[in-house]
Amino acid sequence: MQLELTKDQEMFRRTVRQFLERESPLTKVRELADEPAGFDRAWWRQGAEMGWTAMLVPEELGGGTLSGQGLLDLALVAEEMGRLVSPGALVPVNVVIASIVDAGVGGHGKALEALMAGEAIAAWYDGSGVTASPAGGGYTLDGTAELVEAGADADHLLVTARTGDGLRQFLLPATAPGLTPTRRDSLDLVRRHADIGLDEVRADVDTLVGGDRDAAAAVDRQRQIATVLQTAETAGAIDRVFEFTTQWAFDRYSFGRPLASYQALKHRFADMKMWLEASHATVTAAARAVQERSPHAAELASVAKAYVGDRAAALVQDCVQMHGGIGVTWEHDIHLYLRRVTVNQLTYGTPSDHRRRVADLLAA
């Protein structure tokens, strides 16, 4: 949680929290586990109305922020979603929205509109598994886009492809001939990933996002945004886990006194509190840097992911341990959080990937 919120931000956060607590409490999340997409489109539309898809869009395009710093505002949504292990596709939808806006809307106005209205969902692929070959004024795309969040459920796919001349990005409709998504299982109950096969997919020039130039810088920026939102979500998740585990330590008695009175446990809670505050600190710093397009943005985003990725998982596992046997039962909610932070840890770059990224920047 950012420490100092404006009044607008405070109110917005409260609104989002109330909405999530009412519309997608953990009982609902458990139910959604059996749904293919893991979330409900009507629910998502309500979120879009609340502003979940507007924060990275300038006012003249129908968007708007609370504080003038859209990414910080959006991080509030991510944190609240983390607190309730919410479903949805906050990261890819907003990354794609930001990409369209950054690149100049061009022919993607209708897609942008649908995404902002919550009528459509987008997926985003930034890996190196797809190649684009020039063909008939446009390109033909081939390969496999692995591990795409919401990949089987999205209406639009922003795909990064390699060419002989750098990277290009294309915004394709999910219905494009030659696109074949295959769902993957996930540890998370409601977050969905798919591998998408691309077999001679035709991509005309008007599907390009950012024009026919190297998209490397755009991809970097997209990754930074994804990292900020993902780590903010994780920070929200561990906030909540730490809250209810601390409460448990006060309520639970062993040998006639509460767990919270045992020094060995107190010290572990102290360490966890430190990890928690440090996680918030680094997420906030990364969000600011990315928002301001600071020259350190890439570095600070990777710092945040490497730190939060590892510490959050350690924190939740330690909280499981604090709960004893009940912490590993299906009935207890803590595993929902452990699933989410673990999936977050390993997607959009593992902590190890991000450490290597930081090293590249340091040794450059």
Partner 1 sequence: MSEDLESYRLAAREWLAANLPTVDGGGARLGSDDEAWQRARELQRILHDGGYAGIAYPKEYGGRGLTPAHQRVFNEESAGYEMPLLLNVPTFSICAPAILDFGTEEQKREHLPAVLRGDEVLVQFLSEPRGGSDLAGAITRATRDGDMWVLNGSKIWSSGAYAADYGICLARTDWEAPKHSGLTMFIVKVHQPGVEVRRIKQVNGDSEFCQEFFDDVQIPASDVLGEVNGGWAVASRLLFHERTAVGGGSPYVSGGHAVARVPEPDLVELARRGGRLDDPGVRELIAESHILRTVAGQLVDRVSAGIRGGAMPDPAASLPRLFSATSNERRIDIALAVAGPAAVIPPAGAPGDLGARYLMRQGGSLGGGSSEMARNIISERVLGMPREFAADKGVPFSQVRQSQTPG
* Least CB distance to partner 1 at residue 127 (A): 11
Tallying the residues shown for the chain, one arrives at: 364
- Least distance between a second copy and beta carbon 334 (Å): 23
Sites for a second copy among residues 253-272 (CB under 8 A): 262-264, 266-267
Binds 135, which of a second copy, partner 1, none (CB < 5 to 8 A, cut-off by type)?
none
CB 123 within 8 A of CB 149: yes
Of 202 and 296, CB closest to partner 1: 296
In the complex, minimum distance from the CB of residue 338 to partner 1, in angstroms, rounded to a whole number: 6
CB of 267 vs a second copy, minimal distance in Å:
4
Q: Of a second copy, partner 1, none, which one does residue 205 interact with (CB within 5 to 8 Å by kind)?
A: none
Residues 306-335 that bind a second copy (CB under 8 A): none
Contacts of 134 (CB under 8 A, 6+ apart): 163
Would you say 71 or 272 has its CB closer to a second copy? 272
CB of 263 to a second copy, least distance (A): 4
Q: Name the burial class of residue 206, with classes exposed (0-12), middle (13-18) and buried (19+) by CB atoms within 10 angstroms of its CB.
A: exposed
Say how far apart CA 303 and CA 305 lie, in whole Å: 6
The Cα diameter of the chain in Å comes to: 79
For residue 355, the minimal CB distance to a second copy (Å) is 16
Q: Which is nearer to partner 1, 80 or 195 (CB)?
A: 195
Sequence-distant contacts of 264-267: CB under 8 A, at least 24 apart: 265/322
Judged by CB under 8 A, the number of residues near a second copy is 5
Q: Does 41 engage in binding with a second copy (CB under 8 A)?
A: no
Q: Report the alpha-carbon distance of residue 270 to residue 189 in Å, rounded.
A: 30
**Interatomic CA distance for residues 127 and 129, integer angstroms:** 6
Degrees, nearest 5: CA angle 355-357-358:
65
Q: Which helix (H) or strand (E) holds 91?
A: helix 90-103
Residue nearer to a second copy on the CB measure, 255 or 330 = 255
Q: Is the CB of residue 145 less than 8 Å from the CB of residue 118?
A: no
Closest CB 268 distance from a second copy, rounded Å = 9
User: Is the Cβ of residue 42 or residue 264 nearer to partner 1 in the bound state?
Assistant: 264
Please report the DSSP string for 146-213 in residue order.
Answer: EEEETTTT-SEEEEEEEETTEEEEEEEETT-TTEEEEEE--SSSS--EEEEEEEEEEE-GGGBSS-SS
How many whole angstroms separate alpha carbon 313 and alpha carbon 326?
18
Nearest distance in Å: CB 316, partner 1: 10
Q: What letter represents residue 358's amino acid? A: V
Residue 329 interacting entry, from partner 1, a second copy, none, C-beta within 5 to 8 Å by type: partner 1
CA nearest neighbour of 241 among 309, 312, 324: 312
Nearer to partner 1, 139 or 307 (CB): 307
Residues that bind a second copy (CB under 8 A): 262-264, 266-267
